[in-house]
Amino acid sequence: MSGAEPAPAKVNLYLHVTGRRVDGYHLLDSLAVFGPAADAVAAAPGEALCLTLDGPFAAGLAAEPDNLVLRAARALAEAVGRPAAAALTLTKRLPVASGIGGGSADAAAALRALDRLWGTGLGEGGLAGIAAGLGADVPVCLAARPARMQGIGEVLLPAPALPEYGLLLVNPGVALATPAVFRARQGGFTPMAELPAAWPDAAAMARDLAALRNDLEPPAIALCPVIAEVLAAIRALPGCLLARMSGSGATCFGLFPDAEAARRAAALLPGGWWREGGAPHPVPAD
């Protein structure tokens, strides 16, 4: 789709639940990167605000007023004092409710696309406050570059310098609601991770990450046992350095030495599961 803004999958390489606020929101510590698969949002002039859905996972969404893409458009229009008029198209290639921030990535892509279409001149810095009002994951998706996420996800710190690596994303086709996973979580809280300033290679990165965890993985497996099958299948693939669930699931990832190894691994998985292997999403230019 020409001129469309990519909305890449957000992958949590680890996710520690470090505490809970008095309002009930959980505090997190996570290293987020962006994977080889992405939705796309295109914006064209229009007399009113409308949203067209296409792509392999479009059936899992509805273009109702509460859709995050439409909410993003209305929020930006209100912020700059102009009518919310545009024809938006969301090409949905990422599974819905799958722990890779698809809705947040779509909202962020809509902000970037409309910023350009409407000529607001806000840029990433000016859009950040609007993004934060749409959801805790939208700011990191707006930047679409590796980041250390803390707070409820809205506190973004620089990520360690990352080496070359490949990512494989796998989803078994089961949607998981994030609140249900948090409700099923048992036990206390996990300390924040200690990360180096840089990793020399993917193997060193995988070794350090293996000492960390995704605190939502055990409750997600309890709710959706096929996640354990997906993780076992990824771990058995040639060249896999680490396998873990992303976010609140059910998407899991495999870390590989390079993009080609991840692409080859994707072809070896059983049929029926969504998968995408390759290089992480290119880091946007500043």
DSSP assignments along 148-161, one per residue:
EEETTTTEEEEPPB
Cα separation, 264 vs 262, in Å, equals 5
All residues at 6 or more sequence positions from 33 whose CB lies less than 8 Å from its CB, including other chains:
10, 11, 13, 146, 159, 162, 167, 280, 281
Q: Which of 129, 109, 112 is nearest to 120 (CA)?
A: 112
95 is in an annotated binding site: yes
97 is in an annotated binding site: yes
All residues at 6 or more sequence positions from 246 whose CB lies less than 8 Å from its CB, including other chains:
10, 11, 12, 99, 100, 169, 214, 252, 253
Other C-beta atoms within 10 Å of 255: how many? 26
102 is in an annotated binding site: yes
All residues at 6 or more sequence positions from 68 whose CB lies less than 8 Å from its CB, including other chains:
103, 104, 106, 107, 110, 134, 135, 138
All residues at 6 or more sequence positions from 128 whose CB lies less than 8 Å from its CB, including other chains:
139, 142
227 is in an annotated binding site: no
98 is in an annotated binding site: yes
Cis peptide before 38 (omega within 30 of 0): no
Q: How many DSSP H helices and E strands does the chain contain?
A: 9, 10
**Enzyme catalytic residues:** 10, 137
What b-and-e string marks burial along 96-123, b requiring 16 or more CB atoms within 10 Å of the CB? Answer: ebbbbbbbbbbbbbbbbbbbebbebebe
Are 154 and 130 contacting, i.e. CB atoms less than 8 angstroms apart? no
100 is in an annotated binding site: yes
103 is in an annotated binding site: yes
Q: Binding site for ATP: which residues? A: 95-105
Q: Binding site: which residues? A: 95-105
